[in-house]
Amino acid sequence: MSNGNNPKGQNRPPQQQAPQQAQKPAPQPAAEPEVPKTQPREERRASLVILGAGPVGVEAALVASRLKLDFLWFEKAQVGEHLNRWGHLATHAPMKTLVSEIGLEEIRKNNMDEFLVNLDEPATGKAFRDGYISLLLETLQLSGKLEAGVEAVAAGRDNRLREDPRGPRDPIGPFRLFVRGPNNKEEHILADAVIDCTGVLATPRPLGKAGLPAPGENACRDRISYFVEDILGADLKKFADRTVMVVGAGISAATAITQLAEMAKEHEATWVVWLTRRPSTLPVRRIPQDPLKGRDAIAAAANHIACRAEGHIEFHSGAWIDRMENQGNDKPVKVFATIGGKEIAWEVDRILSLCGYQPSRLLNRELRMPWETTLDLPPTGIDSREQELNPGPATEEPGWYVLGSKSYGRASGFEVRTGYRQVRQAMAEILRVRLQEITKRLAA
């Protein structure tokens, strides 16, 4: 694991071996027991730890660096890992709405303008990553700061268990994080504040009733994708002239449906079964006055396809998947669903399970997080647009901030620029200054 910007862990004292015992010790006169010469390993500690290097994590690191905070920064995979998952799809709005002023400033200061993505147009996920957030990692502010390939596995409060009573005046110690890096290298890190920007894309919701995996879902795993594959490009073979099932009613499902309909024009043997849970003739709920026009256009197009009931697509609302069966290699998967009290079965070659995502609770399970009321079920639901800092210090874990798409829990509709605002608010609270002060310091 490479070190971040915090030098504290760089010169750890080498561990000394405990003296070895002789094999058959001769009787010795009684002596004072020898004190082992090992010393406790020095643990890395930082004022701030940032988790995740998606757009919001990168912005958090940039702001922290410009404010001269000492921080450590961990990313489970590579910078922009989740953008890569939809690298072939376009953003719903021009890139100028997905970048920040200080991000652009740094790229220009470092003479990297020629590699900057075109700001006036939407861009693919890949171009967003390569032409913006990866560039920021090469700037003087952020170069060498990210520890990639390091997963934050769990977090708690130092010297305290979750269930230990907490009096209002009890001093609360720093956070203790358990991280795992390349070659399974494990480490504990201490942090006064943590900004968790780990997103939701790694935890897709399963296909079955009540939000549970459907019986057989796991056995069919190699035929299911939980994100929109490159239907018109690299993954065409998986879909062309095949029977495909799409499950879900969000923008991802809408995107898949529009692309499958487009593809089926040339590959006429393609058949698409689209299942949604809500009993509604219009599958995709559009966000009223959606600020992302591209997103709304996709929702409208998919609804249109469902209503027309043509283009090689059958649409069923009010459908719940009961179970699925893997019938063996090279054979289609059998899916059983209940629609209007009747069970229907299909044999399908590929399933796009696009039932949404949810924040992982694993990382935070030893912390007292207000999951029900905020993180997992945000009261504002799909229309939430201005959900800012959440949860902030009003919770029982002052200093732990969940920002970015994870802060919207199961709700979609998160916009990257909301995340950029959340970052500034969190920094103001961490440094105990007003938001205007952060704006002033960043502009200096």
Ligand X SMILES: Cc1cc2nc3c(=O)[nH]c(=O)nc-3n(C[C@H](O)[C@H](O)[C@H](O)COP(=O)(O)OP(=O)(O)OC[C@H]3O[C@@H](n4cnc5c(N)ncnc54)[C@H](O)[C@@H]3O)c2cc1C
CA distance 433 to 243: 58
Residue (121 or 268) nearer to ligand X, CB = 121
Contact call for residues 322 and 341 (beta carbons, < 8 A): no
Strands 333-339 and 319-325: antiparallel
356 scored as a contact of ligand X (CB under 6 A): no
CB of 137 to ligand X, least distance (A): 12
| Backbone Cα Rg of the chain | 26
Among 116, 119, 202, 297, binds ligand X (CB under 6 A): 202
Q: Per CB under 6 A, which of residues 36..65 are in contact with ligand X?
A: 51-57
151 scored as a contact of ligand X (CB under 6 A): yes
Q: Per CB under 6 A, which of residues 214..273 are in contact with ligand X?
A: none
For residue 375, the 8-state DSSP code is I
CB of 276 to ligand X, least distance (A): 19
Q: What is each CA distance from 284 to 250, 276, 358, 388, 427, in whole angstroms?
A: 6, 9, 19, 26, 37
91 scored as a contact of ligand X (CB under 6 A): yes
89 scored as a contact of ligand X (CB under 6 A): yes
132 scored as a contact of ligand X (CB under 6 A): no
Show Cβ contacts of residue 345 under 8 Å, excluding neighbours closer than 6 positions.
334, 335, 336, 337
Q: 356's torsion region: left (phi>0), alpha (psi -120 to 50) or beta?
A: left
CA distance 383 to 326: 38
- Number of residues forming the site for ligand X (CB under 6 A): 35
Handedness of CA 244, 246, 247, 252 (dihedral sign): positive
Q: Which two tokens stand for residue 440?
A: 């002033």
CB of 38 to ligand X, least distance (A): 30
Among 81, 147, 229, 349, binds ligand X (CB under 6 A): 81
Q: Per CB under 6 A, which of residues 403..422 are in contact with ligand X?
A: 404-405, 414-416, 419
Residue (216 or 399) nearer to ligand X, CB = 399
Residue (51 or 72) nearer to ligand X, CB = 51
Interface residues with ligand X (CB under 6 A) are 51-57, 74-77, 81-83, 86, 89, 91-93, 98, 151-152, 197-199, 201-202, 292, 363, 404-405, 414-416, 419
